[in-house]
Structure 1
Amino acid sequence: MMFSFVEFLAQAFLFLVGVIVLILLLVAIYDRLQTHDAIRRNYPVIGRFRGLFTALGEFFRQYFFAMDREELPFNRAQRDWVNHAAEGGSNTLAFGSTRDLTIPGTPIFVNAAFPPLDNQYASTEPMIIGPTARQPYMAPSFFNISGMSYGAISRPAVQALSRGAKKAGIWMNTGEGALSPYHLEGGCDIVFQIGTAKYGVRNPDGSLNDDKLREVAAHDAVKMFELKLAQGAKPGKGGILPAEKITAEIAQIRGIVPGEDSLSPNRHVEIDDWGDLLDMIAHIREVTGKPVGIKTVAGGAEPFEDLFRLIIERGEDSAPDFITLDGGEGGTGASPMPLMDLVGMSIREALLMVSDLRDRHGLKDRVRLIASGKLVNPGDVAWALAAGADFVTSARGFMFSLGCIQALKCNKNTCPTGITTHDPRFQKGLVVEVKEDRVARYAKGIIKEVETIAHSVGVTEPRQLRRRHVRLVMADGTSRPMHEVFPRGHEIPTMP
């Protein structure tokens, strides 16, 4: 009996080997005959490993080979900070910083010789947005959630963000995908973004529907409206939502046809110049009674000079209540590489320029400036406030707090963490009750650490951070005060 069993195993093994050899032979014949891949044609079977290793390379580098501060778009040190904050753990370090402080442009905060005592801690003060609107918004937090639409991200992701935002006392931007029940269920403050397709407030032809606009504004949770002109990862191009991510529910919420790719125009068709833009802002503010601002990307100083000059000509009441300035390094679920890599100024340059222009035209107290674009850690946020921002918003920072592992699958409906997919198989991994607490802890962690930086430099409120509180590392390894490197207004000519 034993011999028979051993003989069976041997025969089974030989059969398996034979099957494998046959499969490899068939694959080799196919590789030799196909014409679209030269490597596989010249090196049958073996050439397939190149494609496999190329596909797996980015993940092996992430886990085994890249140093803590080497990866892009976000390195391990940045992601780990978000994860520790979201978990409620300690973000203290031992033995010294791993950051290379000799890289040109690195900001270093200037500690005060005699900082406030511990019981004189820095704290965030609320700030009013849209003082001339019928319903101004007293925004409680300088750090908030940037636009991520239901459709680009999943139902449980929206739910967790909404609930977490409520717990942290911050606002949540809907993104251009309209207002869903999942944005509202958490009870947080909401900024409704109107993209170029006007999802949720559109007529069938894509034009703005005032009745739907009033319906959205009737929700007490909706505090402001943001008219999106452009975003950092794809300035000059509209949004892309693949058909496989458009469920019947998403189609109904957005007011589009299910089963088809949803492509937004590259700009608002009824807005041809700054005058048209100010007219549209005034119209939306009149219909809704709430503050209205814009989101855009800087490509140079001239367009903003024209905008601010026109506001002065028309009167301050014509101004947008806020400008959300996205950097060219901003993120998205899908964008052509040339736009993502090469178009739009970095937030590190654009914020300084636009804040100078706004302030020179006397609009600092009228037009709030919101910075966005890879600002996910306390130092990033504190720098933005020192550079002139009134608020900072982040999308990818909150994606990391939800559990994002930077798998780079946002555009394929196969996100392994359930954040950017509508596949129930993957969504089940995102447990809303757990992730909402991570969202809240991350937001509170950022706020606390930025207040700690403000306390260290000797001011009592994070928005009191100024350029003089930051030094920038130069190419020769020395550092200079940021207000000397970028003096306010000196590089901008006075407009007639």
Structure 2
Amino acid sequence: MKDVAPSIVTALSVSLGTILALIIIALLVYWYVQDITQKKHTILRNYPIVGRLRYFFEQLGEYFRQYFFLGDRDEMPFDRSTRSWIYRLAKNEGGVIGFGSTYRLMEPGSLIFVNAPFAVLEEDRLPTPPLIIGADHCETPFTARSIVNVSGMSFGAISKPAIQALSKGAHNAGCWMGTGEGGLSPYHLEGGCDLIMQIGTAKYGVRDSDGAFSLERLRALAAHETVRAFEIKLGQGAKPGKGGVLPGAKVTPEIARIRGIPAGLDSISPNRHTDIANMRELLDFIERVRDVTGKPVGIKTPLGGWQFMNELCEETLRRGLHAAPDFLIIDGGEGGSGAAPQALADHVALSITEALPRAVDALIAAGMKERVKVVASGKIVTSARAAWALACGADFVNTARGFMFALGCIQALRCHTNTCPTGVSTHDQKLQRGLVVEDKTTRVANYCDNMNREIDTIAHSCGLRHAREFRREHVRITQPTGRTEALSTIYPYPATSS
């Protein structure tokens, strides 16, 4: 009897091994026949089975490069050093490094701040003052306290727990949160943070059953106390000249209900507002929304040149400063946290590096800079880049991907596939399970708080009492020659209109 049991185990092992081998052989035969008879892929037709390795490694190549081959400062769109820095801020582990920086100071475009020989003492530092948006021009102006804020990310583009964590974290940090063009969801309201409701080209959230702009829906949204302002989105840096894209796999019944669209179908908004075709109609729409809601109204747009800013200033001055947008969000061509056509993401719209100072210059020249608050957006995820934006003339900074990293994003580049492994941009509840709202709420607040703190640290090292004292002469930019040039020389301040 003792010899029977081992014999049975041996026989079973042989049988299982044989079955497994037969299954593998059957799969190989199936793939061979499938590959050699298909007509779409040359490699598979000429090299059946073996050719599959080529596609396998091509698919995984970006991940191998990201983790094994590229240096800490070599990756795109965000390098490992930047991501690690954001993770440390979000975890409240500090931004301290050892043995020197890996930042390439001699690379063209590098930022260098002009340190003061006598930095500001601790007792002389002042808190960065808040700014009032819409003061004297609407019934309910908005007092914005934080320099760094959450850029618009729609419920749909990102998940329910991501929205919840951002809303609660923004409340704890005292910054605002943009809703994105997907409408106002219960999860935006859940945290009690200040919200800027975006009105996109499809009018999601403020449209009637026929898809037309609805004043009734607008009034209902404005009734929410935490909805502090409205943002008219003309375009986004990642896809200028094209509306938002939400693949049908991510349009759940709940998202469809909030947006007012069919479930399961691609949500593609128009490439512009059908009822806004020129600057006159844009300012008409701004005044209409402001009159109905009593709250500040602004514009979000990338820039492709100077025509937009010139026309905005000319038409505003013709009407009077009361007609101006209360704020202007300039999105750089390098922006974009979701799905976008590569042709547009790569080649259309100016970088924030050029667009921001030019937009500020136009406002200064027209005498409108005090009236219109400027928000910089577009790959601004570090304190140095935010400080540069303030020096250019921005009043605030918006970031989407910075807060996505704070939520745990690993730059898997799957935002548009509904398979985000960190649960940030997927509606697969199994993947969302990894995003614990309570933990990520703390990280969102930490990232915002530490960003503001580091911006102030840079200001103090420049001899400034707080971050709103930054001017262009405090920043130098490395040129192709390796020498640096003052930002105030590259973009000198224009003369102010009398």
| Both structures adopt the same fold (TM-score exceeding 0.5) | yes
Query: Aligned equivalents of 1:431 and 1:26: distance in 2?
Result: 43
Q: What's the offset of the Cα at 1:18?
A: 3.5
Query: Aligned equivalents of 2:497 and 2:453: distance in 1?
Result: 40
Q: Secondary structure at the match of 1:480?
A: strand
**Would you say the 8 A contact 2:365–2:497 is kept in 1?**
no
Cα distance change on mapping 1:26 and 1:478 into 2, 3 Å: same
Deviates most, 258-267 or 431-440: 258-267
Equivalent position of 1:315 in the other structure: 320
1:74 is aligned to 2:85: no
Alignment partner for residue 24 of structure 2, among 9, 20, 23? 20
Equivalent position of 1:240 in the other structure: 245
User: Which amino acid in the other structure matches residue 186 of structure 2?
Assistant: P
User: Which amino acid in the other structure matches residue 386 of structure 2?
Assistant: V
Deviates most, 24-33 or 327-336: 24-33
Return the TM-score normalized by structure 2.
Answer: 0.96
Equivalent position of 2:221 in the other structure: 216
Query: Aligned equivalents of 1:349 and 1:432: distance in 2?
Result: 37
Query: Aligned equivalents of 1:304 and 1:4: distance in 2?
Result: 83
**Where does 1:68-467 land on structure 2 (aligned, <5 Å)?**
68-131=72-135, 132-467=137-472
Offset from partner CA, 1:205-231 (integer Å, 9 cap, x none): 322111111111111101100000000
Q: Secondary structure at the match of 1:334?
A: coil
Query: Aligned equivalents of 1:250 and 1:10: distance in 2?
Result: 53
User: Which amino acid in the other structure matches residue 78 of structure 2?
Assistant: F
Q: Secondary structure at the match of 1:443?
A: helix
Q: What's the offset of the Cα at 1:423?
A: 1.2
Q: What's the offset of the Cα at 1:412?
A: 1.2
Q: What's the offset of the Cα at 1:123?
A: 2.5
**Would you say the 8 A contact 2:233–2:299 is kept in 1?**
yes
Offset from partner CA, 1:62-97 (integer Å, 9 cap, x none): 111111111111111111111001111121010000
Query: Aligned equivalents of 2:497 and 2:55: distance in 1?
Result: 56
Structure 2 unaligned blocks of 5 or more:
none
**Would you say the 8 A contact 1:122–1:462 is kept in 2?**
no
Deviates most, 225-234 or 17-26: 17-26
**Where does 1:1-40 land on structure 2 (aligned, <5 Å)?**
1=3, 2=6, 5-6=9-10, 8-40=12-44
Deviates most, 7-16 or 442-451: 7-16
Question: Displaced runs of 4+ in structure 1, greater than 6 A?
Answer: none
Alignment partner for residue 494 of structure 2, among 482, 489, 493? 489
Query: Aligned equivalents of 1:397 and 1:14: distance in 2?
Result: 53
Aligned residues: 493
Deviates most, 2-11 or 318-327: 2-11
Deviates most, 331-340 or 361-370: 331-340
Q: What's the offset of the Cα at 1:14?
A: 4.0
Q: What's the offset of the Cα at 1:471?
A: 0.6
Query: Aligned equivalents of 1:298 and 1:390: distance in 2?
Result: 18
**Would you say the 8 A contact 1:122–1:454 is kept in 2?**
no
Q: What's the offset of the Cα at 1:7?
A: 5.0
Offset from partner CA, 1:392-431 (integer Å, 9 cap, x none): 0000000000000111111111111111111111111111
Query: Aligned equivalents of 1:442 and 1:64: distance in 2?
Result: 27
Q: Secondary structure at the match of 2:206?
A: coil
User: Which amino acid in the other structure matches residue 58 of structure 1?
Assistant: E
Q: What's the offset of the Cα at 1:436?
A: 0.3
Query: Aligned equivalents of 2:497 and 2:51: distance in 1?
Result: 62
Query: Aligned equivalents of 1:116 and 1:265: distance in 2?
Result: 50
Q: What's the offset of the Cα at 1:284?
A: 0.2
Alignment partner for residue 56 of structure 1, among 56, 60, 65? 60
Offset from partner CA, 1:225-271 (integer Å, 9 cap, x none): 00000000000101112222122221221222223222211111111
Q: What's the offset of the Cα at 1:15?
A: 4.1
Query: Aligned equivalents of 1:126 and 1:19: distance in 2?
Result: 68
Query: Aligned equivalents of 1:14 and 1:213: distance in 2?
Result: 68
Query: Aligned equivalents of 1:190 and 1:383: distance in 2?
Result: 25
Query: Aligned equivalents of 1:269 and 1:11: distance in 2?
Result: 69
Query: Aligned equivalents of 1:44 and 1:122: distance in 2?
Result: 69
Query: Aligned equivalents of 1:438 and 1:223: distance in 2?
Result: 24
- Of all paired residues, the percent bearing the same amino acid is 51
User: Which amino acid in the other structure matches residue 124 of structure 1?
Assistant: T
User: Which amino acid in the other structure matches residue 393 of structure 1?
Assistant: N
Equivalent position of 1:42 in the other structure: 46
**Would you say the 8 A contact 2:367–2:497 is kept in 1?**
no
Q: Secondary structure at the match of 1:175?
A: coil
Q: What's the offset of the Cα at 1:21?
A: 2.6
Structure 1 unaligned blocks of 5 or more:
none
Cα distance change on mapping 1:24 and 1:474 into 2, 3 Å: same
Query: Aligned equivalents of 2:388 and 2:336: distance in 1?
Result: 19
Q: What's the offset of the Cα at 1:23?
A: 2.2
User: Which amino acid in the other structure matches residue 394 of structure 1?
Assistant: T
**Would you say the 8 A contact 1:297–1:327 is kept in 2?**
yes
User: Which amino acid in the other structure matches residue 210 of structure 2?
Assistant: D
Q: What's the offset of the Cα at 1:121?
A: 2.5
Offset from partner CA, 1:3-22 (integer Å, 9 cap, x none): 56445534543443343233
**Would you say the 8 A contact 1:39–1:47 is kept in 2?**
yes
User: Which amino acid in the other structure matches residue 386 of structure 1?
Assistant: A
Query: Aligned equivalents of 2:373 and 2:120: distance in 1?
Result: 28
User: Which amino acid in the other structure matches residue 371 of structure 1?
Assistant: A
Q: What's the offset of the Cα at 1:143?
A: 0.9
Alignment partner for residue 476 of structure 1, among 466, 473, 481? 481
User: Which amino acid in the other structure matches residue 413 of structure 1?
Assistant: N
